[in-house]
């Protein structure tokens, strides 16, 4: 059976890379004693596939991975029962918030996800200035940005990848920050949070300007409708409360 896990990555652990995260999960699953399926060959690896990479340094409440299991643990009534098991073996900062069985043949995370929503805190930027920049970008028909991908510099129109931008309260800081909620496309060449900041505020250093980066949702396209992947419904919310 295949399960899809939704999990959080918050706090210091955000400084680990996507590759590191895969290793954390491999070890956590082994420690938890969950009956995961292994690949064949001389170097059997647990069958797990990870979704879109989270940039090193970014946090998230909407990370996903798929795991192939031989079976659920004996006393588990449903897949969600795996959440506390994973939480007890994952490094601090991770928490599994939902586990759901998915039918075989479900599109992989890499293929299915079309957009992500990000909550960004911008340091040293006034709310009014940010509103003006947002307005400028949203009303523009194209936004050219020079960026580096795989060691190649190129100038791209990133406007099509910006699906929505909204002012929001910052999630942290001392009042010198402005918050922004952005939904960015991941397909085609996509747009990364730091690249968005560079496009919005070209005069500022994006690394200095960007405070917290939090991924809040990942979206899939279901027959033309954009829907959140594995939302935290009543079941998930209840599980979280009980653990908390």
Partner 1 sequence: MSSLWERVEPLLARVNKPARYIGCEDGAITPRHGAGKVAWLLAYPDTYEIGLPNQGLQILYDILNERDDAVAERTYAPWSDLEALLRQRGVPLFSVDTHRAAGDFDLLAFNLSAELVYTNVLNMIDLAGVPVRSARRSAEDPLVVIGGHCAFNPEPLADFVDLVVLGEGEEVIGEITDVVRDWKASGRTAGSREGVLRALAQVPGVYVPALYDVEYDGPALRAVTPRYPDVPAVVSKRTIADLSAWPYPRRPLAPLTEVVHDRLAVEVFRGCTRGCRFCQAGMITRPVRERPAEQVRTMIANGLRATGYDEVSLTSLSTADFSGIEEVTASLAGCGTTVSLPSLRVDAFTVGLAGQVSGGRRSGLTFAPEAGSWRLRQVINKLITEEDLYGAVESAYSQGWHRMKLYFLTGLPTEADADTSGIVDLAANCVRIGRRHTNRASVTVSLGGFVPKPHTPFQWFGQNTTAELRRKVQLVRDAGQRAKGVQVKWHDPSATLAEGIASRGDRRIGAVLERVWRDGGVFQEWSEFFRLSRWEEAMAAEGLSVEWFVNRHRDEDEVLPWDHLSAGLHKDFLWLDWQEALAEHGLEDCRWTPCYDCGVCTGFGIEHVVASPVPPAGGSQGTGQDLARGGEVPVALISRRPAQAAEVPA
* Distance of closest approach, residue 36 Cβ to partner 1, in angstroms: 11
27, 147, 189, 240: which one binds partner 1 (CB under 8 A): 27
39 forms part of the interface with partner 1 (CB under 8 A): no
Among 26, 66, 68, 87, binds partner 1 (CB under 8 A): 26
- Rounded CA separation 122/91 (Å): 28
The 3-state secondary structure of 154-217 reads EEEECHHHEEEEEEECCCCCCCCEEEEEEEEECCCCCCCHHHHHHHHCCCCCHHHHEEEEEEEE
> C-alpha 117: how far from its chain's center?
8
Q: Which is nearer to partner 1, 177 or 217 (CB)?
A: 177
Taking CB under 8 A as the binding criterion, the range among 9-17, 103-111, 154-162, 180-188 that sits at the site for partner 1 is 9-17
Q: Determine the interface stretch with partner 1 among 38-46, 63-71, 141-149, 160-168 (rule: CB under 8 A).
A: 38-46
| Residues 6+ away with beta carbon under 8 Å from 239 | 80, 83, 84, 97, 98
Question: Between residues 166 and 205, which has the closer beta carbon with respect to partner 1?
Answer: 205
Name the residue nearer to partner 1 (CB basis): 20 or 111.
Answer: 20
155 vs 14: CA distance, rounded Å: 29
CA angle 66, 67, 68 (to 5 degrees): 125
From the CB of 120, what's the least distance to partner 1, in Å? Answer: 13
Alpha-carbon distance 86 to 54, whole Å? 20
Choose which of 207, 226, 235, 237 interacts with partner 1 (CB under 8 A): 207
| Residue 91 binds partner 1, judged by CB under 8 A | yes
Q: Does residue 210 bind partner 1 (CB under 8 A)?
A: yes
Name residue 226's beta-bridge partners: 221
Closest CA to 209 of 241, 242, 239, 173: 173
Stretch that binds partner 1, among 11-19, 97-105, 165-173, 183-191 (CB under 8 A): 11-19
43 belongs to the binding site for partner 1 (CB under 8 A) = yes
15 near partner 1 (CB under 8 A): yes
Residue with tokens 């405070």: 211
Check binding of 92 to partner 1 (CB under 8 A).
yes
> Which region, judged by CB under 8 A, interacts with partner 1, from 42-50, 72-80, 141-149, 185-193?
42-50
Largest Cα separation within the chain, whole Å, is 59
Does the protein bind partner 1 through residue 70 (CB under 8 A)?
no
* CA separation, residue 237 to residues 16, 56, 82, 240, 244 (Å): 27, 27, 15, 5, 10
Q: Which residues bind partner 1 (CB under 8 A)?
A: 12-13, 15-17, 19-20, 23-24, 26-31, 42-44, 56-57, 89, 91-93, 207, 210
């Amino acid at each position: 059976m295949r399960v899809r896990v939704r999990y959080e990555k918050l706090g210091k652990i955000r400084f680990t890379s996507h590759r590191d995260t895969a290793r954390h999960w491999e070890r956590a699953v082994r420690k938890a004693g969950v009956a995961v399926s292994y690949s064949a060959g001389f170097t059997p690896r647990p069958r797990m596939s990870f979704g879109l990479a989270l940039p090193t340094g970014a946090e998230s409440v909407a990370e996903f991975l798929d795991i192939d299991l031989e079976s659920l643990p004996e006393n588990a009534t449903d897949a969600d029962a795996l959440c506390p098991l994973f939480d007890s073996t994952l490094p601090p900062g991770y928490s599994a918030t939902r586990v759901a069985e998915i039918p075989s043949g479900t599109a992989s995370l890499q293929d299915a996800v079309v957009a992500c929503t990000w909550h960004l805190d911008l340091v040293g930027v006034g709310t009014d200035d940010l509103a003006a920049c947002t307005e400028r970008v949203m009303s523009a028909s194209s936004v050219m940005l020079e960026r580096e991908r795989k060691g190649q510099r190129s100038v791209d129109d990133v406007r099509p990848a910006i699906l929505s931008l909204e002012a929001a309260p910052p999630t942290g800081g001392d009042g010198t920050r402005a918050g922004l909620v952005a939904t960015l496309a991941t397909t085609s060449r996509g747009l990364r949070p730091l690249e968005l900041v560079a496009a919005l505020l070209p005069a500022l250093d994006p690394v200095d300007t960007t405070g917290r980066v939090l991924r809040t949702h990942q979206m899939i396209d279901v027959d033309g409708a954009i829907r959140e992947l594995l939302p935290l419904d009543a079941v998930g919310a209840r599980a979280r409360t009980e653990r908390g």
